[in-house]
Amino acid sequence: MESLYIIKIGGNIVDNPTLLKSCLDAFSNVKGSAILVHGGGKLATQMATSLGIEQKLVEGRRVTDEATLKIVTMVYAGHINKTIVAQLQGIGINALGLSGVDANLIKAHKRSTSKVDYGFVGDIDKVNSTFIQEQLIQNRRLVIAPITHDGEGQLLNTNADTIAQSIATAMVTLYDVHLIYGFEKEGVLKHIQDEDSVISLINGPIYAQLKKDKIIFEGMLPKLENAFHALNNGVKSVLIGKAEKMNELINGTAGTTIKN
């Protein structure tokens, strides 16, 4: 089967024009089909602050109230998404910018309030793999913003790492799927302040030990949980590493490789 690369870049990359350009150049060089999923960056928080809308975080995750939902939709699905698409068009890539709302791309439900009420935050139910394949066949590169919907008219803010994983697992019957998480670190680090302490390979037992020893925690845990979920559901490979080394990540020569 044809290869499909799903590349997720985080907010810290979106906020840095030099890093973003480097990632988009690498994305443009992918042979075959490719999808870019992007996070939100600091702009939504800055805009909320300027409008006097308090931003609440629980365990590092944004609580999305009604006012915040309007802002993240405008910033993520609007300004950031279209800026990335424009830059790709500028280097000759026929990119199509979408959110999970468009063409019923990603349907989700509002997260349960059993523990913490995150507001209008969505957990994914279904990805429209048929529509995605139709676009890829037309040689379009998709750029996807982390806004979804519930099928009843409600927008939802959804974690971009999870969106990348969900798209990856939805496409495994159609492509050999490779998932890459690009962020500001060299990979999963044994010592968070030491960029030379990259753990080159993590499998299930190693992951369990790293969690037990509290070497990985907080923001890295959801990435690794998504990585193992993807592998357990047919994704061929998952890599986590420095976004500005995206060419090497695509080639499998940098970052941390996640295996079962």
Q: Domain map of the chain by residue range?
A: 3-258
Write down the pLDDT at residue 17: 92
Paired strand residues for 114: none
Per DSSP, 102 falls in state: G
Q: Rounded to an integer, what distance in angstroms lies between the CA atom of residue 83 and that of residue 80?
A: 5
Which conformational region is residue 194 in: left (phi greater than 0), alpha (psi within -120 to 50 degrees), or beta?
Answer: beta
Residue 172 CA to residue 4 CA, distance in Å, equals 9
- Are 111 and 155 in contact by the 8 Å Cβ rule? The answer is no
Question: Which residues is 132 bridged to in the sheet?
Answer: none
pLDDT by residue for the chain (260 residues), tens digit each?
899 999 999 888 999 999 999 999 999 999 989 999 999 878 888 999 999 998 887 766 778 999 999 999 999 999 999 999 999 999 999 999 999 999 999 999 999 876 888 899 999 999 999 999 999 999 999 999 999 999 999 999 999 999 999 999 999 999 999 999 998 889 999 888 888 899 999 999 999 999 888 888 777 888 899 999 999 999 999 999 999 899 999 999 999 999 88
Nearest to 4 by CA among 129, 158, 103: 129
Q: Which fold has domain 3-258?
A: Carbamate kinase (3.40.1160)
Measured on CA atoms in the order 188, 7, 69, 121, is the torsion positive or negative? negative
What are the structure tokens assigned to 36, written together?
């870019």
pLDDT of residue 219: 74
What are the residues facing 9 on neighbouring strands?
A: 38, 182
Distance CA 9, CA 5 (A): 13
Predicted TM-score (pTM) of this structure: 0.94
How many CA atoms lie less than 13 Å away from 257 in the CB half-sphere?
13
In angstroms, the CA 134 to CA 50 distance is: 41
Question: Cβ contacts of residue 115 below 8 Å, gap of 6+?
Answer: none
Please give the pLDDT value at position 30. Answer: 93
Distances (CA, A) of 94 to 135, 139, 186, 246: 11, 7, 30, 20
